[in-house]
Chain A
Amino acid sequence: MSVEVAIPEGYVRAFAKPAALSDAKFTYCPGCHHGIITRLVAEVLDELGILERTVGIAPVGCAVFLDRFFHCDFVQAAHGRACAVATGIKRARPDLVVFTYQGDGDLAAIGTAETVHAANRGENITVIFVNNGIYGMTGGEMAPTTLPGQRTVTTPTGREPRLHGYPLKISEMLAQLDGPAYISRQAVFDYSHVVKAKRAVLKAFRNQLEGKGFSLVEILSTCPTNWRMSPTEAGRWVAERVTEVFPLGDLKDVG
């Protein structure tokens, strides 16, 4: 912490910034759920004691600066290619823990092929898929995951499925494949969902340590800036609208 505050005797620390995180401030906008998801990954690296042998693959998108936030090694992949880069690192160095952290534009648009084939091969990697239904970094264009009727800068009157296609349900698609070990969809719009999402992320990393294979946690996230909502309204939009199209829960779990 950058603040020194005297805590009276008789108190124990119940919550603090995970050791896996550096002191660098997050570059996300105020209230963006990317920050919660980034912190959950750091908490899991701490709890499993794997920080020293973990390599993250950063995407192109608002999470592009992940290497600044974490105290572990990172590779920043070309747009959408994180699962392919992770495959190479994990196959060359199976002793390392390898994870990707990707937005929906990265994972579900330009990188669909790399994602599907890594999942189908059952690569022993962990994938954190941050679905905010939009291209956040580039100014709020429609993503394959944008909801029908949702307004974006490229669908100013709302996404029209007959013209722009339907929301792409990547997790449902991947859950049909034989390769993956674990596919789960979570959210972080309130405390209880944060706790559940953390459990799923923990499992997705533990699966890799146990050699179970491809584990992906999709986490429904927000983009208050490009959705043109307050952080509170954005959380409510996920809870009430996004979860109707993208229901929460485990889609595949080989146990």
Chain B
Amino acid sequence: MPKGIVVVDKERCKGCGLCVEACPFKVLDFSSEYNSSGYQVTYMAHPEKCTGCAVCANVCPDVALEVYREERSVKGAT
């Protein structure tokens, strides 16, 4: 399982690409989907590389990203 999971709120995303550019691990990319406003939304193209660092969410101007991170206690127990 990856360390992080990013959930894209497709209706909030405006396809600006700032998250795609900012992700240090090149996890995100544009999907082939468009939302109801006509914006090409992003998705986790390489989910296995996600660390849950939330760099992408911090630079997203439309608060379209939610980030989940592997719980440390869980990690320690495995």
Contact = CB atoms under 8 A, between A and B. Distances in A.
B22 A30 contact: no
A35 B61 CA distance: 4
B67 A10 contact: no
A224 B17 CA distance: 13
Interface in A145-168: none
Given A15-B67, A231-B17, A191 B59 contact: yes
Interface residues of B, number: 35
B73 to A, nearest CB: 9
Given A30-B39, A195-B58, A235-B18, A2 B71 contact: no
B55 A191 contact: yes
Contacts of B16: 30-31, 231
Nearest to B2: A11
Contacts, number: 104
B71 A231 contact: no
B22 A190 contact: yes
Contacts of B59: 36, 188, 190-191, 194
A51 interface: no
Interface of A: 1-3, 5, 7-8, 10-18, 21, 25-26, 28-36, 39, 188, 190-191, 194-195, 230-232, 235
Interface string B6-34: 01111110111110011000000000000
A15 B66 CA distance: 5
Contacts of A230: 17
Given A30-B15, A235-B18, A14 B63 contact: no
A1 B71 contact: no
B62 A7 contact: no
Interface string B53-78: 01101111111011111110010000
B26 to A, nearest CB: 15
Contacts of A31: 14, 16-18, 61
Given A15-B66, A17-B66, A32-B61, A191 B9 contact: no
A28 B67 contact: no
B61 to A, nearest CB: 3
21 contacts: A1-B66, A2-B9, A2-B10, A3-B8, A3-B9, A8-B1, A8-B5, A10-B74, A14-B52, A16-B66, A17-B63, A25-B62, A28-B61, A31-B16, A31-B18, A34-B61, A35-B62, A36-B58, A39-B63, A232-B18, A235-B18
Contacts of B54: 14-15
B7 A5 contact: yes
A31 B42 CA distance: 13
